[in-house]
Amino acid sequence: MSVSTKISRDKAQARSIKVTCAFCQSGKMHSIIDFGDVALAGGFLKKEDIANEPKFPLRLFFCTECFAVQVVDVVEPELLFNNYFYFSSAIRSLKEHFVDYAMEVSSRFLNPEESTVVEFGCNDGILLKPFADQKVRTLIGVDPATNVINTIQDPRINTINDFFGPKVGRDIETKYGKADLIVANNVYAHIPDINGVTAAVRDLLKEDGVFVFEVHYLGKVIEGLQYDMIYHEHLYYHSLIALQNHFSRYDMTVFDVKPIPIHGGSMRYYVAKNTSKYAKSISARVDLLKRDELTKGYNKIETYSNFGLDVALRKEKLMDLLARLKKKGRSIAGYGASGRANTIIQYSGITSDYIDFMIDDAPAKEGYCTPGSHFEIYSNRRLQEDRPDYLLIFAWGYFNEIAEKCRGYLAAGGRMITPLPDVKVVFSPINDADL
């Protein structure tokens, strides 16, 4: 059987299977958005591989039993994370963020020279290194991406090249003992076996151990209509109320929260066992956030139905604009070939009828094509010789930075379109006859 036959058979099976919640196993699941069959958002590919590109269903659901918002179509993690194009330390603002993070957490929860800290999804050690600088006694990093974890090479840090789960948790306990602190950043949303991993965290923690993790916040997705955050790597869109339900099944408590202004809006959650000293003094911030989420209806189907409708309207507005511009014979290129761009492109149905090529500032992507849509990716230099009438800025979160890089293009009459948070044209004052 060919790969594509197997995948289409799997897809048909996937759609017919009754959907259950990954957290509480309830069948009370409500569909929010069906993106159709899409290529993996991180699956940048060479031209010669286009014919064999697999596609998978992508559907977002809400569980009315435990309030978890989740993608129900799980792609094997080995396909997504074994080789990874994302090195945290390449981003300077992230580096500073993690230095502050290590200082805050170790001064609050650790006696560094007697402590054991485990991080899963440790990437290239961006957080473990500052913990080592804080003189934490035992540091263990776990990550499945071989090419990324192998760059750590620091004698102060023990590494395990694997997915974290019950077995790795037991191995760590046997070799190093229980942990004072377990950390996980931008990874708690990526785990198919969320129950196995959470049980492993609980079992590996000491009685007064703390689990701290950062993850993209559901509220930002809903309020900012950030539907471009939704792809197969991001299985869950965590709210506090859903996490409280989840951890209560493990006799654990969220005892503090902290909003983090990176990746378009994240939340840091602090969790401990119900019997630990931390669970006795829950921060007022937890109650405030909970009340805020209930006021906004994060426990109600209607909130998510409205979100799904708003997303569909936003897509229509974007496609109307692109169709109008193409009718006038205007040329358009995309800017920012990220995973987020790939969701917008595939969901909206942006094909080569609308866009001629893509630009991205990461040299590693040059010469590759975008997954699903197959636009060729070029560096910013292409704008010097080939000036499209419009640039569609998929990396809209970095709009000002991109506008600055494209000053010459804008000064020469080039225009920019943002797909989110609203569909908008930003143009130079020279000519506005298109609008």
Where do contacts with Zn ion occur on this chain (CB under 5 A)? 21, 23-24, 26, 63, 65-66, 68
Q: Of 67 and 347, which has the nearer Cβ to Zn ion?
A: 67
Half-sphere exposure for 71 (CA within 13 Å, toward CB): 22
Q: How far is the CB of 19 from Zn ion (least distance, A)?
A: 11
Q: Of 21 and 406, which has the nearer Cβ to Zn ion?
A: 21
Q: How far is the CB of 28 from Zn ion (least distance, A)?
A: 7
Number of H helices, E strands in the chain: 15, 17
Q: Of 73 and 180, which has the nearer Cβ to Zn ion?
A: 73
Q: How far is the CB of 242 from Zn ion (least distance, A)?
A: 8
Residue partners of 29: CB distance under 8 A and separation at least 6: 19, 20, 21, 61, 62, 63, 64, 72
Q: How far is the CB of 12 from Zn ion (least distance, A)?
A: 25
Q: How far is the CB of 25 from Zn ion (least distance, A)?
A: 7
Name the strands in the sheet holding 205-216, side by side, starting at the edge strand that comes first in the sequence.
Answer: 158-160, 138-142, 116-120, 179-185, 205-216, 266-273, 252-260
Q: Are strands 138-142 and 158-160 parallel, antiparallel or unpaired?
A: parallel
Q: How far is the CB of 241 from Zn ion (least distance, A)?
A: 12
Report the alpha-carbon distance of residue 334 to residue 384 in Å, rounded: 15
Q: Which amino acid is it at 92? A: R
Q: Of 23 and 270, which has the nearer Cβ to Zn ion?
A: 23
State whether residue 215 is helix, strand or coil. Answer: strand
Q: Of 23 and 247, which has the nearer Cβ to Zn ion?
A: 23
Residue 370 · residue 39 · CB < 8 Å: no
Q: How far is the CB of 63 from Zn ion (least distance, A)?
A: 3
Please report the DSSP string for 233-281 in residue order: T--EEB-HHHHHHHHHTTTEEEEEEEEE-STT-EEEEEEEETTSSGGGS
Q: Of 67 and 109, which has the nearer Cβ to Zn ion?
A: 67
- List the one residue out of 143, 139, 154 whose CA is nearest residue 121: 143
Q: Of 37 and 293, which has the nearer Cβ to Zn ion?
A: 293
